[in-house]
Structure 1
Amino acid sequence: MSQTLQAAYAAKRKARRFAVQGIYEWQMSHNPVHAIEARTRAENHMHKVDLNYYHELLTQVVAEHNALDALLVPVLDRELAALDGVELATLRLGAYELKQHLEIPYRVVLDEAIELAKYFGGADSHKYINGVLDRLAESLREAEKKQAK
């Protein structure tokens, strides 16, 4: 992989990290998304972050959270309200990427969500995130999953 591709990949990974933090903050505080984004940009060194992708993830996951939740509910083994806040933020972000970013292979979406859960979540939350998003990929990425088998 070229250094340019590695840098782009790393910038998207950092965008996801900041986005999941912002989504979590919004879930807990219901602060306006633009205020969360402005504070995050002011308080962090974000020169190596894909800022456009960060902005998209944060604003669109929050804007579409009801539709994303509707996608998640059938593949959950518990009530949405019973999810840990970090798990919910990570699942919403993963569901958004599965639905809206078909150019990103579903396995990459799952791997990124697993890494976020390992970094921010509880001890075994990454396993739960993997299972839920894998089940969601059955419907959102059916053809892609069949090809991967």
Structure 2
Amino acid sequence: MSDDHSPAPGQPSRPPRQSRKGLTSTGVRKAGSKSARSRSREFALQALYQHLVGGNSVEAIDAFTRDLSGFHKADLVHYDALLRGCVQTQAELDALIVPKLDRPLAEISPIEHACMWIGVYEFQHCLDVPWRVVLNECIELTKEFGGTDGHKYVNAVLNGLAPQLRSAEVESDRKAP
């Protein structure tokens, strides 16, 4: 048997097997390995995208999102907090984000914008979630739904805001061995 992955004559071509470690071939977590909180962020991102792009009402977006496949597996309380909280405080969230940007907010993709909203909102209002978890979750969301290097941009902005919004926690982490 050879190490060559080419199919035997007459056999259909198949992609290589993916590992069972909970990641897809692109490094994104598989749906089955996502927590209810991660799923709530994912649905909130989709809803916030609709808000940013379509300007739809929160009620219409919420009704549509709740009908999506897999929504019942999400943390509904966290989803509600993210969707409604980000929309209600969007001006305050943008006021924190804009100074960290190297271009006008209008030039930021709606996916990156929504991921930054989620991160900043969680930094401010979800103190039970460690700042590094917030950062990682937003990076993962951007990897899955955003452009090729969008996660790097979201990482830079949220990493720049973490010391301001979670100063004691960030400082404590930096002092730890």
TM-score computed with the length of structure 1 as normaliser: 0.91
**Quick check: 1:27 aligned with 2:52?**
yes
Q: What CA distance in whole angstroms lies between the structure 2 residues aligned with 1:139 and 1:60?
A: 20
Q: Is the partner of 1:47 in helix, strand or coil?
A: helix
Q: 2:36 touches 2:74 (CA, 8 Å); kept in 1?
A: yes
Query: Who wins on radius of gyration, i.e. which is larger?
Result: 2
Q: What CA distance in whole angstroms lies between the structure 2 residues aligned with 1:45 and 1:138?
A: 35
2:48 counterpart letter in structure 1: I
Percent of aligned pairs with the same amino acid:
45
Report the count of equivalent residues: 142
Q: Deviations over 1:99-139 (max 9, x none)?
A: 11122111000000000000000111111111100000121
Q: With a CA cutoff of 8 Å and minimum separation of 6, indicate the structure with the bigger relative contact order.
A: 1
2:143 counterpart letter in structure 1: K
Aligned equivalent of 1:60: 85
Aligned equivalent of 2:168: 143
Aligned equivalent of 1:112: 137
Q: What CA distance in whole angstroms lies between the structure 2 residues aligned with 1:94 and 1:42?
A: 25
Q: Is the partner of 2:71 in helix, strand or coil?
A: coil
Q: Deviations over 1:30-52 (max 9, x none)?
A: 11111111111123232211111
Aligned equivalent of 1:77: 102
Contiguous gaps of at least 5 residues in structure 2: 1-31
TM-score computed with the length of structure 2 as normaliser: 0.77
Contiguous gaps of at least 5 residues in structure 1: 1-6
Q: 2:43 touches 2:71 (CA, 8 Å); kept in 1?
A: no
Mean CA deviation greater in 9-18 or 44-53: 44-53
RMSD: 1.4
Mean CA deviation greater in 75-84 or 19-28: 75-84
Q: Deviations over 1:22-70 (max 9, x none)?
A: 0011111111111111111123232211111111111110111000000
Q: Is the partner of 1:102 in helix, strand or coil?
A: coil
1:117 counterpart letter in structure 2: T
Q: What CA distance in whole angstroms lies between the structure 1 residues aligned with 2:173 and 2:68?
A: 41
